[in-house]
Amino acid sequence: MRLLLLGDIVGRAAREAVVAAVPGLRRSLGLDFVVANGENAAHGFGITDTICAELYAGGVDVITTGNHIWDQRAIMAYIATDPRLLRPINFPAGTPGNGSGVYALPDGRRIMVANAMARLFMETLDDPFAAIDRLLGEHRLGPLAAILLDFHGEASSEKTAMAHFCDGRVSAVVGTHCHIPTADYRVLTKGTAYITDLGMCGDYDSVIGMKKEAAIARFIKKVPGERLEVSLGDPTLCGVVVETDDATGLARAIWPLRVGGKLDPVMPPASAKISAPAS
């Protein structure tokens, strides 16, 4: 099975680039399932029901989020109605929405996607390790064809610890939030694919997706400044493609993906079932 996981989508131009690119990527790479982090999709702050519909129509199967999930207040009522929009599982009990979901592919295989938020240098939430451990006590590879975890956090140490904590129990752990793609993509010793941060889908001629001038001013001037605005340049789509073993659900390979914009392009190899010559 082939799975595409895209980093934080920042603003309208990045949304449009994702919607334009995903259908072709599904065909050329033989993708079975696509997950994207959408917590910055609405002008850089949160997500809306309309944006969710746009991304689903463009070929995204599940949308994960993080600390910006509540920036658009209307999402609090909507999220309970949309099982494909996830918020971190370690929000306190009673928080609207779900932190995980199980989704059926057309061929009957089932995939679980989970979303958790780290705590170092982030908001104080419930223990993400305990929350994920409980979830994996109820769901496992075998009955599920794949299990994917988006771990949204600031500290590379906490993300790496979560990956090793989950190694052998999930197909992939991918970090989000930092908006910069890391180079440590690999399959861990027990078979879980991992990358510390997927990077963002956004304009890299910016400060993590925001216009440079206002962002720089916040570091130079210790007084309130203008509101941050999304940079409108040509976006780069950043993420990874994970290939899993159909028998175990564990990862066979992980490749980076970068399309368009300012960063050097990287494209995973085509799937054998796509590239093999017709008999």
Q: Which of 3, 7, 5, 4 is nearest to 235 (CA)?
A: 7
Q: Which residues are catalytic?
A: 68
Note the pLDDT of residue 222.
Answer: 77
Q: Is 239 helix (H, G, I), strand (E, B) or coil?
A: strand
Q: Token digits for 73? A: 């207040």
Note the pLDDT of residue 227.
Answer: 87
HSE of 279, CA atoms in CB hemisphere, 13 A: 1
pLDDT by residue, tens only, the chain of 279 residues = 999 999 999 999 999 999 999 999 999 999 999 999 999 999 999 999 999 999 999 999 999 999 999 999 999 999 999 999 999 999 999 999 999 999 999 999 999 999 999 999 999 999 999 999 999 999 999 999 999 999 999 999 999 999 999 999 999 999 999 999 999 999 999 999 999 999 999 999 999 999 999 999 989 987 777 889 999 999 999 999 999 999 999 999 999 999 999 999 999 999 876 644 443
Please give the biggest Cα pair distance in the chain: 68
Crossing angle, helix 128-138 and helix 156-166, to 10 degrees?
20
| Sign of the dihedral through C-alpha 254, 259, 261, 262 | positive
CA angle centred on 132, ends 126 and 133, rounded to 5°: 110
What the chain holds in terms of domains, given with CATH numbers, is 2-275 (3.60.21.10)
Within 10 angstroms of residue 204's Cβ, the number of other Cβ atoms is 22
Note the pLDDT of residue 279.
Answer: 36
Q: Is 26 helix (H, G, I), strand (E, B) or coil?
A: helix
C-alpha to C-alpha distance for 199 and 182, rounded to whole angstroms: 7
